[in-house]
Amino acid sequence: MSIEEKVGQMFMPDFRQWNGKNVCEINEEIVQVIQQHHIGGVILFRENLVDTEQTVRLVDQLQRAAGSIPLLLSTDQEGGVVNRLQSGTVMPGNMALGATGSTESCHRVGQAIGAELHALGININFAPVVDVNVNPDNPVIGVRSFGSDPQLVSDLGVSYIQGLHDAGVAATAKHFPGHGDTAVDSHLGLPSVPYDRSRLDEVELKPFQTAINAGVDLIMTAHVTFPAIDSSMLISRLDNTPIYVPATLSAPVLTGLIRNTLGFEGVVVTDSLQMKAITDHFGPEDTVIRAVQAGTDIILMPSDLNRAYQAMLAAVKNGDIPETTIDKSVTRILALKLKLGVVEINNGKLQPGMGSRNTCRCGTD
């Protein structure tokens, strides 16, 4: 693979709207964006997923546009208040499942959600949320959490993950290292979790370690500062004041904690880089370079895809990002694609696998 192709594998943009209209099928301009940037994945939203037949067509169009290395196709089908499939089954949310305390029910919900996604050709679910919701003023997690007990969150999170895996869909533990004890929505501002490391180990990190031990495929980062883990500061472009480095851009968090301490060997994906916790303080070029230097593998929803892609490509070519770093990330991404059957190896070469083709029988070609 060329440098351009390897860098492209690390990008997962969204195509929710194009020229003011919801994207329910792709046009030639979107095809060119995917091919020119060698995109490795796409995240799908409710605007994209109107009904079953249309979703199957869209997934097929996206995979055809990708060419020889098919896409990771993701969505946030958590259940409860966060559902992207307009034609999907609305399953109980995490807090409802937490109220039952039933690992069996949680497994069945994960498996059912996974079965619907798999039938449509969507291979990654950005779920479950394993944040421990210990702050009653939390405006963004709340009922998306299994509860306030770290052990309960750990047990139910693993059951949900296993359910997705049984359906052939990759699972994501989010939002690392924990978004449950914040009073600020990172879509709107930059939250902070001020506690010391011993408290983080007991509460926030416990469900993530349990998920890692259970073989979770991806971990999604939080746009939250954790001064006890990383006390370094950067200058915000919003008002030129110093701010703590958010977890998404922090090497002590993404490499030191996720990789070296918790032993995670899977794929690290950023939360959306279009959220104000990031865009208020960092430009699109600076954001992606810092995120990759910190240890992320997949850049989710850059605020400006072309500027971010070109900046990252230049950073690799000038040595600001070692090519070995890119190689490690792309190896993890391709390993996930192999696991999911998105690609397969034939005579030493990557080619589309059965997992990149739709299995839904919806009357479409």
Output the DSSP codes for 205-269.
SHHHHHHHHTT-SEEEE-S-B-TTT---EEE-TTTS-EEEPBGGG-HIIIIIIIIIIT---SEEE
Q: Is residue 365 part of a domain?
A: no
- Is residue 203 within 8 Å of 147, Cβ to Cβ? no
Predicted confidence at residue 196, as pLDDT, reads: 84
Q: Is residue 361 part of a domain?
A: no
The whole-angstrom separation of Cα 290 and Cα 255 is: 12
Nearest by Cα to 337 from 301, 283, 297: 297
In terms of DSSP H, where are the helices of the chain?
Answer: 3-9, 28-36, 52-66, 94-100, 103-120, 150-166, 197-202, 206-213, 251, 276-279, 284-294, 305-317, 323-340
Active site residues: 187, 271
Q: Is residue 200 part of a domain?
A: yes
Domain with 235 in it: 3-356
| Tens place of pLDDT per residue across the chain (365 aa) | 999 999 999 999 999 999 999 999 999 999 999 999 999 999 999 999 999 999 999 999 999 999 889 999 999 999 999 999 998 898 999 999 999 999 999 999 999 999 999 999 999 999 999 999 887 766 678 889 999 999 999 999 999 999 999 999 999 999 998 877 665 555 766 777 878 888 889 999 999 999 999 999 999 999 888 888 999 999 999 889 999 999 999 999 999 999 999 999 999 999 999 998 899 999 999 999 999 999 999 999 999 999 999 999 999 999 999 999 999 999 999 999 999 999 998 887 888 888 877 655 444 43
Structure tokens at 217: 């495929």
Q: Is residue 213 part of a domain?
A: yes
Tell the burial category of 310 from Cβ atoms under 10 Å away from its Cβ (0-12, 13-18, 19+): middle
Predicted confidence at residue 363, as pLDDT, reads: 41
Predicted confidence at residue 364, as pLDDT, reads: 40
Q: Is residue 364 part of a domain?
A: no
Q: Is residue 22 part of a domain?
A: yes
Predicted confidence at residue 351, as pLDDT, reads: 83
When divided into structural domains, the chain yields a total of 1
Q: Is residue 74 part of a domain?
A: yes
Predicted confidence at residue 345, as pLDDT, reads: 87
Structure tokens at 61: 């169009």
For the domain that residue 197 is a member of, what is the CATH number?
Answer: 3.20.20.300
Predicted confidence at residue 141, as pLDDT, reads: 82
The whole-angstrom separation of Cα 80 and Cα 30 is: 31
Predicted confidence at residue 347, as pLDDT, reads: 82
Q: Is residue 363 part of a domain?
A: no
The whole-angstrom separation of Cα 230 and Cα 245 is: 7
Structure tokens at 273: 């880089």
The whole-angstrom separation of Cα 138 and Cα 175 is: 14
pTM equals: 0.93
